[in-house]
Amino acid sequence: MELIPLAPGAESLAAHRQRLGPLPTLPSGQLIAELEASGLLGRGGAGFPVGRKWRAVAERSSGGAVVLANGAEGEPLSLKDRTLMAGRPHLVIDGALLAARAVAADNIIFYVGGEHRAAQAALRDALAERSRDLQGGARIATAPGGYVSGEESAAVHFVNAGDARPTTIPPRPFERGVGGRPTLVQNVESLALAALIARRGHAWYQGLGHGQARGLGLVTVSGAVNHAGVREVEFGSTLGDAAAAAGGVSGDVGAVLLGGYFGGWADVDQQWGLPLDAHSMRARGLALGCGVVHFLPAQTCGVEATARIMTYLASQSARQCGPCVFGLAAIAGATQRLGARSPKADDLERIARWSGQLTGRGACRHPDGAVALLQSAMHVFADDFAAHQRRRCLTTSVPARVAVA
Amino acid sequence: MAETLQIDRIRCDGHGLCAELLPELISLDDWGFPIIKAGTLPPSLVEHARRAVDACPVLALRLASMTPVTQRH
Ligand SMILES: Cc1cc2nc3c(=O)[nH]c(=O)nc-3n(C[C@H](O)[C@H](O)[C@H](O)COP(=O)(O)O)c2cc1C
Ligand code: SF4
Ligand code: SF4
């Protein structure tokens, strides 16, 4: 176990140092090269190569860059970031410190969801213990609740102006972010993994994984399993392995939601052997995203579960861009009517058309993620959607437990 | 250099004027917000596109030259 604490509660600085030794002092160029060679991908959802992002910020920095460690974790089915921050705050801080050195930043902001109380407390205490390393250049910013506040331009906007709504790009944060300075926005798990790679080298990370896949990361397993929670997996281990690591499935499973509300549904019978790995999943039209794995019980109606998620996502629009505000609301309304088996005559047709029209039409990717989820649902639950349009349901509907705020 | 039509989605408030002036490239969705045809602007439409850009009452539309994408999220 590399990311999971060895004992309950927050790991102390002494325990952290005993486990991993001191913070390495590689020169910036070498550290970035290690990260690039490791193949580490961002763990916040988009899966962008971490080393390449550090390089982009380092190239623009003349000493005053900013590191924004993203621990907003607004995704309702994800727990991995808060669990990591609460249990291994010093590892996250190590990653942020290394990033700050590599990109020549003099300011680190830990952007942590306000509702993640244990994570907030652990980081606050850990930052106090590290005051010598940090020399006053680090602080916590409490992210407001909401799905979109973790989006990178929203995070920057919040730190700059107290408003956690996305802004128009360009400029992207790595060009002009906090205080107008080049800003590295990096998920907290990505930073923790970078801190491990800095100590052990890229070959260590490349040596982990099964099959074609390389590396390890955290996933959050929930739904119809016996022991839901955060698990560490070597990439390339299968969906079946993830279920087993969560105590096995607790009953018949109909489908699985992969990657979070920005990911998609998959047919579980076809995918037990699916390698959990960003590249392999992308090749199959799926996404590892932020590592959410949610098993939907067979008795739960996929249309209803999807309607709940779409309603939630529509409610989370930052209400700035017409296509997102009106499009997601209309989709949520029609999907709800379908879920309740009281659709208008052409609801199914309309959600198909609308979901094809929203991608790339918001300032941020909120609508893109939402319609990707709906499209996957219309594929995996095609028979159910068709039945619901005819006012029938194919499952003995037990209300969906997909958690929404 | 090839140009594309770009739209500031936060600014755009769905006046729909642009679609009237450039129906070849811009259509409107069910709520009156523009859908721009993908790809670069054909040279024959550049003049029309400029007119649409100038007509947008909230300055949401612009012509941008294609720059290589260095980072995507
Ligand atoms: C609507 C939306 C919400 C997001 N929420 C989060 C979040 O809570 N935490 C996070 O790390 N990234 C989130 N992201 C992704 C960030 O924009 C960004 O890509 C990420 O923090 C970069 O870190 P990474 O490359 O290490 O993944 C979100 C993106 C979108 C479009
Ligand atoms: S696309 Fe939606 S969530 Fe993103 S900035 Fe626009 S209104 Fe806000
Ligand atoms: S004219 Fe401007 S505000 Fe009106 S729809 Fe076109 S871009 Fe939007």
Instruction: Print pLDDT tens along chain A (405 aa).
Output: 899 988 899 999 999 999 999 999 999 999 999 999 999 999 999 999 999 999 999 999 999 999 999 999 999 999 999 999 999 999 999 999 999 999 999 999 999 999 999 999 999 999 999 999 998 899 999 999 999 999 999 999 999 999 999 999 889 999 999 999 999 999 999 999 999 999 999 999 999 999 999 999 999 999 999 999 999 999 999 999 999 999 999 999 999 999 999 999 999 999 999 999 999 999 999 999 999 999 999 999 999 999 999 999 999 999 999 999 999 999 999 999 999 999 999 999 999 999 999 999 999 999 999 999 999 999 999 999 999 999 999 986 556 666 554
- In this complex, is the C-beta atom of B30 within 8 Å of any C-beta atom belonging to chain A? yes
d(CA A371, CA A146): 18
Please count the CA atoms within 13 angstroms of the CA of A174 that sit on its side-chain side.
Answer: 18
Residue B52 has pLDDT above 90, yes or no: yes
Give the residue on B whose Cα is nearest the Cα of A319. B10
**Pick from A25, A26, A177, A28: nearest CA to A104:** A28
**Pick from A258, A229, A248, A257: nearest CA to A83:** A229
Contact check, Cβ <8 Å, A174/B10:
no
Beta-sheet strand order (sheet of A65-71): A138-143, A105-113, A65-71, A183-187
- pTM score of the predicted model: 0.94
Count of CB atoms situated within 10 Å of the CB of A145: 13
Position in ligand 1 atom list of the atom nearest CA A72:
8
Residue nearest to atom 3 of ligand 3 (CA): B12
Name A81's Cβ contacts closer than 8 Å, sequence gap at least 6: A71, A72, A73, A116, A119, A187, A188, A189, A290
Compute the nearest-CA separation of A282 from chain B (Å): 15
Q: Which residues make beta-bridge pairs with A138? A: A108
Q: Which of A163, A326, A358 to mutate against chain B (most B CBs within 10 Å)?
A: A326
List CB contacts (< 8 A) between B30 and chain A. Answer: 326, 330, 354
The ipTM value here is 0.89
List CB contacts (< 8 A) between B32 and chain A. Answer: 322
Contact check, Cβ <8 Å, B71/A330:
no
Q: Which H or E run contains B18?
A: helix B17-21
Compute, in angstroms, the gap from residue A290 CA to the centroid of ligand 1.
Answer: 9
Ligand 1 contact, A41 CB (< 6 A): no
**Pick from A256, A254, A176, A195: nearest CA to A220:** A256
| Identity of residue A105 | A
Compute, in angstroms, the gap from residue B4 CA to the centroid of ligand 3.
Answer: 16
B37-65 per-residue burial string, b: 16 or more CB within 10 A, e: under 16: eeeebeeeeeeebeebbeebeeebbeeee
| Identity of residue A370 | A
CA geometry: angle B40, A321, A329, nearest 5 deg: 120
Tell me, what's the pLDDT at B71?
Answer: 39
List CB contacts (< 8 A) between B33 and chain A. Answer: 322-323, 326, 361
d(CA A358, CA A232): 34
Give the residue on A whose Cα is nearest the Cα of B13. A322
Please, are residues A272 and A58 in contact by the beta-carbon 8 Å criterion?
no
- In this complex, is the C-beta atom of B31 within 8 Å of any C-beta atom belonging to chain A? yes
Compute the nearest-CA separation of A219 from chain B (Å): 20
Position in ligand 1 atom list of the atom nearest CA A74:
8
Selecting from A322, A362, A365 the residue whose C-beta is nearest the C-beta of B14 gives A322
Compute, in angstroms, the gap from residue A107 CA to the centroid of ligand 2.
Answer: 28
Name A334's Cβ contacts closer than 8 Å, sequence gap at least 6: A343, A344, A347, A350, A351, A354
Tell me, what's the pLDDT at A399?
Answer: 62
List CB contacts (< 8 A) between B29 and chain A. Answer: 323, 327, 354, 357
Compute, in angstroms, the gap from residue A319 CA to the centroid of ligand 3.
Answer: 17
Please, are residues A242 and A273 in contact by the beta-carbon 8 Å criterion?
no
Give the residue on B whose Cα is nearest the Cα of A289. B73
- In this complex, is the C-beta atom of B65 within 8 Å of any C-beta atom belonging to chain A? no
Count of CB atoms situated within 10 Å of the CB of B27: 14
d(CA A118, CA A244): 27
Please, are residues A233 and A241 in contact by the beta-carbon 8 Å criterion?
yes
**Pick from A173, A79, A178: nearest CA to A138:** A178
Two tokens, residue A239: 């969906």
